Amino acid sequence: MSTDPILASLLCDTATLSDGDVSVGGVSLRDLAATYGTPLFVYDEATLRSRCREAASAFDDGVAFASKSFLCGAMARLAFEEGLCIDVATGGELDIVLRSGVPASRVIMHGNNKSHDELERALQVGVHRIVIDNFDEIDRLRSLARPDQPLNCLVRVTPGVEAHTHEFIRTGQEDTKFGFSVATGDARRAISALRAVPSVTVHGVHAHIGSQIFAIDGYSETMQILGDFTRDDDFDELCIGGGLGVAYVAGESAPSISQWGDAIRVAARKVGLGENVRLLAEPGRAIVAQAGLTLYRVGAVKPVTQRTYMAVDGGMSDNPRPVLYGSGYEAFDVERPLAQRPQAVRLVGKHCESGDVLIDEAWLPQRTGVGSVICTPVTGAYGYSMASNYNRVPRPAVVFVADGAAREVLRRETYDDLARLET
Ligand SMILES: *Cc1c(COP(=O)(O)O)cnc(C)c1O
């Protein structure tokens, strides 16, 4: 029941809940809030590393971390160290990854509108793969390609599988800005066009069927379509994309990365793919979501006729997902993690916007109020990476915790940072 204490299984692997505090990676959340201030993103390195390792062993070499879910230099290095490639979708993401010291040979370049400059840089540094999205990009690549510069590609296709959270449906026709349609023949034409460019090697095809997917059947179905489609191509790679779901609130449960990999492998064998074809994926959320949490401090509690509003010192600028997608989260009081949560509040942020809601109906202990430190777990994905400076609110700091120590990997923004673009 929602008034029960927070489920420990929603927290990262190393979390321990006790009366008065929660520790993560051997570090007290109360201490972290006191030392670094709030709002604060906290990531458990052990959880990050374990999810990366799980992905590296569930899939073949070339499996990637989708960096858009959470990217900074420390994260890129960690994923690289644990054996993953890094997916980027823009020149900005590519730049951060290269600055982090991860070699270009472990970077996969995505994007549905790669500019001339982005493609030129990807070619110049020699990324591992470019995932081709459209015919205009092929034209641009043709003009950039040099005979002495090998260009390794995947072709992004839309297999006609639409994945939803709990089911998947097969659609006759795809309506998406991404990739080439298998059904219309565009995917086949793209492969031929690329093969006509002398320096290009097409290694295989790529599909990404959605996000926050709990039903693995959609992936098996996709793998079968990709296998059938490429039966005569002699490709050495097939990539199933990302999108594996995670549990955000009590009552949800998601397949593990290993179960996902197993299902893909079974589907690949079923469609007759040999061991020589590398089976790849690019999880984002499944790597970082549960490893991260956010700490806020409560600043105001306002009972109105219909409910009680509890306002924290962040909001839609550090977690836009509730506003964008209506996503659900849970909350707990860091000093009372084992307590029942009978107090129903609408947890809101500090932005000048009625829609600035973090949790529509959050359940908290009775005594939680002004000054309490609130934690929203499972905020490691698409929180910091989608964070904004709306209302000129500085972005929070990000700390990694491991073995009883914390290190700040991104410092909190200052008002000077906010003013740095003024001319
Ligand atoms: C967003 C995206 C991913 C990662 O999605 P998650 O839901 O975070 O796993 C992987 N591949 C592509 C092409 C994407 O657009």
For residue 267, being part of any structural domain is answered with: yes
**What is the percent of the chain with per-residue pLDDT over 90, rounded to a whole number?**
94
pLDDT at 356: 98
Indicate whether residue 383 lines ligand 1 (CB < 6 A). no
For residue 1, being part of any structural domain is answered with: no
Considering only CA atoms, which of 361, 359, 351, 363 is closest in space to residue 316? 351
One domain, residues 318 and 256: no
Indicate whether residue 68 lines ligand 1 (CB < 6 A). yes
One domain, residues 297 and 367: yes
One domain, residues 65 and 203: yes
Cβ atoms 16, 337 nearer than 8 A: no
Domain end point (choices 236, 262, 288): 288
One domain, residues 31 and 53: no
| Active-site pick, 52, 85, 352, 375 | 352
pLDDT at 168: 58
Would you say residue 252 has pLDDT above 70?
Answer: yes
**Residue 5: count of CB within 10 angstroms of its CB:** 15
pLDDT at 232: 94
For residue 423, being part of any structural domain is answered with: no
CATH of the domain at 53: 3.20.20.10
pLDDT at 172: 47
Would you say residue 237 has pLDDT above 80?
Answer: yes
The yes-or-no answer on residue 352 being catalytic is yes
pLDDT class of 104 with cuts at 50, 70, 90: very high
The atom number, within ligand 1, closest to the CA of 156 reads 13
Domain end point (choices 288, 311, 342): 288
Q: Out of 25-34, 210-219, 379-388, which region has the weakest mean confidence (pLDDT)?
A: 210-219
- Please tell me the residue having the least CA distance from ligand 1 atom 7: 243
Indicate whether residue 286 lines ligand 1 (CB < 6 A). yes
Residue 128: give the domain boundaries: 45-288
Distance 305 CA to ligand 1 centre (A): 42
Q: CA dist 319 to 99, 176, 334, 348, 382, Å?
A: 26, 26, 19, 11, 7
pLDDT at 155: 98
The atom number, within ligand 1, closest to the CA of 381 reads 8
Q: What is the pLDDT of residues 279-319, one digit of tens each?
A: 999 999 999 999 999 999 999 999 999 999 999 999 999 99
In the block, tokens 């006191």 appear at 34
pLDDT class of 173 with cuts at 50, 70, 90: low
**What is the 3 state secondary structure string of 189-234?**
HHHHHHHCCCCEEEEEEECCCCCCECCCHHHHHHHHHHHHHCCCCC
Considering only CA atoms, which of 290, 296, 304, 294 is closest in space to residue 344? 304
One domain, residues 401 and 299: yes
Would you say residue 171 has pLDDT above 80?
Answer: no
The atom number, within ligand 1, closest to the CA of 212 reads 7
Q: What is the pLDDT of residues 144-170, one digit of tens each?
A: 999 889 999 999 999 887 665 545 555
The atom number, within ligand 1, closest to the CA of 213 reads 7
How many distinct structural domains can be found in the chain? 2
One domain, residues 276 and 297: no
Whole-angstrom Cα distance, residue 302 to residue 383? 26
Element (H, E) at 154: strand 151-158
One domain, residues 80 and 200: yes
Indicate whether residue 129 lines ligand 1 (CB < 6 A). no
One domain, residues 296 and 232: no
Q: Out of 37-41, 217-221, 334-338, 398-402, which region has the weakest mean confidence (pLDDT)?
A: 217-221
pLDDT class of 205 with cuts at 50, 70, 90: very high
One domain, residues 158 and 271: yes
- Please tell me the residue having the least CA distance from ligand 1 atom 2: 242
One domain, residues 306 and 383: yes
CATH of the domain at 391: 2.40.37.10
Is-above-0.95 flag for pTM? yes
